[in-house]
């Protein structure tokens, strides 16, 4: 069996961090099993779906490195849905219902007042042909419900939650089609999973009851259902469901200088028993991905943790990975020198300005003689053989200075800062001419 997973976003907005996590986990499982990861654009809602969001979804998955092996769109599959619908209708598994939304709301209120669950009472099944003809003659178009089989227990072994059991008698027959003929999520999704040969569906635990309903749809169609894995929902750093999570997406991460590797590394591991580590290589995340390691507790997403993880990821990025984003002229040696001081790649341009100059050095007048001595010694150094070590050794011998009194005035004169990359790596990049010129700057 070829494993096939799918990510099925609706193009009614941008992907947020919860969507990204679901896409990542479906991708990881497909890659681990040597299978296929499919992108299905669930665009049955013509009024709210927009092409710009379709393009954004593709771009976001590309930035994250989650390239799908296939793509399809629900809007191209309406004929298939119609055929399946008619087949189910013919065997009595879908039926028309004529209640208005106001009437349904009133029924729910009455049930609640009696302490009963707000279940649909199946009143539409008691209508005669004459009743239906009369309603439709009055201009009332029906919506359509899927008829659950109350005599069959709904059971499955969830890959994360373990054995699951639902009683269909405690669930309402779900509406699958609106009065205007448009489709709701439930039936088209089940049809597509069956027709596309989807073997595994990884999604949030808020879909557990949907899975129970859809399992009966698969059975009614005579189709083998996928295996389901329902993962705990993301919560904010405060441990509660957060509206802010719905606004955090790829655009936000990119603007904050977050690398896709950091997003993958965090979202692959939070909510599992595995430690969150700065793993840039997707192969390692794929190899260690295991549903058995997922917990039932909410998975906490903390932007501060992502930022810290990103810093560690950046410190391990090769020059080739970032070259296109570095300032013109900045090469491998410069990148490796400044990389340990970066929280994100964009900060490399600040250190490039330090290397290239000009800089403004705020030096202490008390260090004037010391820096003059350094300017005298610098031209004679062997600039091909660790000039920083030579310079500091010569200055220590000539002036008797050591420690902070030796190193800090030099760093300030040469970089204009009190901290930064290792001067052993930085000084050769500044070069002899710039070094001498900076040491000779007027004391301010």
Binding site per annotation, positions: 243
Residue 325 class from Cβ within 10 Å (0-12 exposed, 13-18 middle, 19+ buried)?
exposed
* C-alpha Rg value of the chain to the nearest Å: 32
Binding site per annotation, positions for ATP: 243
CA–CA distance, 143 with 141 (Å, rounded to integer)? 7
Instruction: Name the residue among 8, 53, 17 with its Cα closest to residue 264.
Output: 17
Cis peptide before 358 (omega within 30 of 0): yes
How many CA atoms lie less than 13 Å away from 270 in the CB half-sphere?
27
DSSP structure class, residue 237? T
CA–CA distance, 411 with 421 (Å, rounded to integer)? 10
Sign (positive or negative) of CA dihedral 86, 92, 93, 94: positive
Residue 308 class from Cβ within 10 Å (0-12 exposed, 13-18 middle, 19+ buried)?
middle
Q: CA 296, 164, 15: angle at the middle one, nearest 5? A: 55
Instruction: Name the residue among 373, 370, 361 with its Cα closest to residue 418.
Output: 361
Instruction: Name the residue among 174, 223, 232, 234 with its Cα closest to residue 202.
Output: 232
Beta bridge partners of 73: 41
Could you identify the residue written with the tokens 């890659």?
Answer: 31
What Cα–Cα distance (Å) separates residue 427 from each residue in 229, 318, 387, 394? Answer: 54, 21, 7, 15
């Amino acid at each position: 069996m070829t494993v096939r997973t799918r990510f099925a976003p609706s193009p009614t907005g941008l992907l947020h961090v919860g969507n990204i996590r679901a896409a990542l986990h479906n991708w990881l499982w497909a890659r681990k099993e040597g299978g296929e990861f499919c992108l299905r654009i669930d665009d049955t809602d013509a009024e709210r779906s927009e092409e710009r969001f379709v393009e954004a979804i593709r771009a976001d998955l590309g930035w994250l490195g989650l390239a799908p092996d296939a793509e399809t769109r629900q809007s191209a599959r309406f004929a298939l849905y119609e055929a399946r619908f008619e087949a189910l209708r013919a065997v009595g598994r879908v039926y028309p219902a004529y209640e208005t939304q106001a009437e349904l709301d009133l029924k729910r209120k009455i049930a609640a007042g009696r302490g009963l669950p707000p279940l649909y009472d199946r009143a539409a099944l008691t209508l005669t042909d004459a009743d239906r003809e009369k309603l439709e003659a009055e201009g009332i178009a029906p919506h359509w419900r899927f008829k659950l089989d109350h005599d069959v227990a709904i059971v499955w072994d969830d890959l994360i939650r373990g054995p699951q059991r639902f009683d269909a008698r405690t669930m309402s027959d779900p509406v699958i089609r609106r009065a205007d003929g448009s489709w709701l999520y439930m039936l088209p999704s089940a049809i597509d999973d069956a027709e596309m040969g989807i073997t595994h569906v990884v999604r949030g635990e808020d879909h557990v009851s949907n899975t129970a309903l859809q399992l009966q749809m698969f059975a009614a169609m005579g189709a083998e259902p996928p295996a389901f894995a329902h993962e705990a929902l993301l919560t904010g750093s405060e441990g509660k469901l957060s509206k802010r999570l719905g606004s955090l997406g790829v655009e936000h991460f990119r603007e904050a200088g977050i690398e896709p590797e950091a997003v993958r590394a965090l979202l692959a591991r939070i909510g599992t028993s595995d430690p969150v580590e700065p793993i840039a290589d997707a192969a390692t995340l794929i190899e260690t991905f295991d549903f058995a390691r997922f917990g039932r507790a909410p998975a906490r997403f903390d932007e501060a943790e992502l930022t810290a993880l990103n810093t560690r990821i950046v410190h391990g990025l090769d020059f080739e990975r970032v070259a296109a984003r570095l300032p013109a002229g900045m090469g491998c040696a410069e990148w490796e020198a400044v990389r340990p001081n970066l929280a994100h790649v964009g900060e490399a341009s600040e250190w490039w300005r330090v290397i290239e100059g000009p800089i403004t050095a705020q030096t202490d007048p008390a260090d004037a003689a010391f820096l003059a001595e350094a300017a005298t010694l610098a031209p004679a150094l062997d600039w091909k053989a660790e000039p920083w070590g030579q310079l500091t050794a010569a200055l220590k011998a000539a002036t008797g200075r050591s420690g902070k009194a030796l190193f800090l005035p030099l760093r300030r004169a040469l970089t204009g800062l009190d901290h930064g990359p290792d001067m052993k790596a930085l000084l050769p990049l500044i070069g002899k001419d710039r070094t001498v010129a900076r040491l000779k700057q007027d004391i301010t």
